[in-house]
Amino acid sequence: MKASPCLLPLAALLALPAAVRAQNELSNFTATGRGGVINTFAQDYQAIGINPANLGRPGEATVAFTVGEGGAGLASRTLSKTLFKHILFDSSQPIGPAEKAELVKGFEGDNALNFNADFTTLGFAVSLPNGLGGLAFSNRQRVGAHLALNHNAADVIVNGQYAASVQPYYPSSVLATQTLPPPLLSNFLDGTSIQLAWTSEYNVSYGIRVLDKVGFKLSAGAGYRYIQGIGIADIRVAGGSLAAYTALSPIFKVNYGNLATNPQFNFETGGGLHPVGHGNGYDLGLAAEVGKLLRLGVSVTDLGAMTWTGNVVTAADQKLQATSSTGINSYNVLKEIVNQFDTNQTNLFTYQAAQERTAALPAKLRLGAGVRLSSLFEAGVDFTAPLNKVAGNLTAPFVGLGVDFKPTRWLRLSSGVSGGAGYGTSLPLGVTLVSPVWEAGVSSRDVTGYFSEKAPYYSLAFGFLRFKIGGKS
């Protein structure tokens, strides 16, 4: 069977917890421990993609660098913890009608599944002499996936041709003789969203203090990133319209069949993280210090666009088709999602080849305020809002309150409370070992999510090779 150009990467990524185990602050283990509160906290290379103006604050480390700092989060607002575990770890377990009904209900919602992962392979920052500001570089892998299904989509995925939602148009019983005209997919799937974005970034950011007055100091910063696109899948059905396209690297091993010979199709082959798109991104920020305690920050990140040029396929609005699927007989729902959006099955979509597709980056507005009482205690509040609805962006605004506290000179504890972004209310926790030149720690965006039967949320961030030389601790 050919792998779906739309859902195979989503299924593969969501299956990662079974195999080995979207917000870029997951690549910062200290910010993850504060639930993503970071705008006024971020220093050195950790300011990349958050607020480059923070690089202009003097007194930070002369040199800071990291190797292999990252994190991942997986959550559902509609599935129970029991169903979540069955899907991830017991997908071959047989199910009956009662379990199918439970799955339909569990997958129906705006945030059925959310997945984010960020990994900084290398980060480096240096404070320039003579008040010339700070400069930072990094390479980062970013992955985000989002699944929202309306009742009809969840019903068809679980029950196939026997779904109650398709019976008025394509009765599964041979005794049925009267059918209704099939609706457009824009109506049948209204409220369904399936999104994935995987990019590799090469970042450079610069910040400098532009105003230094008694009681008020202001820094400004800007960042640029060259982006290689590893994969994109963006299917959105809302308000009577349908938009769908994908472009996936050969690493996903998609068999495009007859589409590969279409003269409008730029067929890409190769190994490893072979890019199928390229783009440019920009960040802008301001950071202020009011008096000795208060810090303020505002930034706009991920401005710019990506152009996808390889393995691009699109789908337009069309009438609902009869599906050949008979539904699922086990908890392997992710495989059936792949089947329903495949290219060689009789199912929901028909695809067309395309030369390229340009899409905006997941732009965000970030606001932050913080109080730094000393090197032992700092608190802050953040608000982050998505500026568009493209794949890889937040699904809703985020707000959080975070604190850092050092009970001893070698230990820093982080916590707070946060909500939004499709993840609900979270209670984060982070533990960091601190020395004058080295930091290492682990953290979670929500420690309660591991145990909650309703709305499970698994997240973990880590960093063991973060070094800061010079400046204040």
Domain boundaries, the chain: 8-469
Q: For the chain, what is the mean pLDDT?
A: 86
CA-to-CA distance for 429 and 424, rounded, in angstroms? 16
pLDDT at 472: 60
Least reliable range by pLDDT among 156-160, 225-229, 419-423, 434-438: 419-423
Find the mean pLDDT for residues 160-187: 83
Confidence class of residue 445 from pLDDT cuts 50, 70 and 90? confident
Q: Is domain 8-469 annotated with CATH 2.40.160?
A: yes
Q: Coil, strand, or helix at residue 160?
A: helix
**pLDDT tens, 234-289?**
889 998 899 889 898 988 887 787 888 888 899 988 877 889 999 999 999 999 99
Instruction: State residue 26's pLDDT score.
Output: 61
CA dist 127 and 138 (Å) reads 15
> Which segments within 214-325 are labelled E, that is strand?
216-238, 241-248, 277-290, 294-308, 312-315
pTM reported for the whole predicted model: 0.84
Helix (H) or strand (E) holding 99: helix 97-107
Kindly write down the DSSP assignment for every residue of 14-79, as one continuous string: HTHHHHT---GGGG-HHHHTTTT--TTT--GGGGTTT-GGGGG-TTS-SEEEEEEEEEEEEE-SSS
- Tokens for 378, please give them: 């700092």
Q: What is the pLDDT of residues 315-350, one digit of tens each?
A: 889 998 888 888 889 998 877 776 665 554 556 777
Question: Sorting pLDDT into bands at 50, 70 and 90, what band is 216?
Answer: very high
Per-residue pLDDT for 125 more than 60? yes
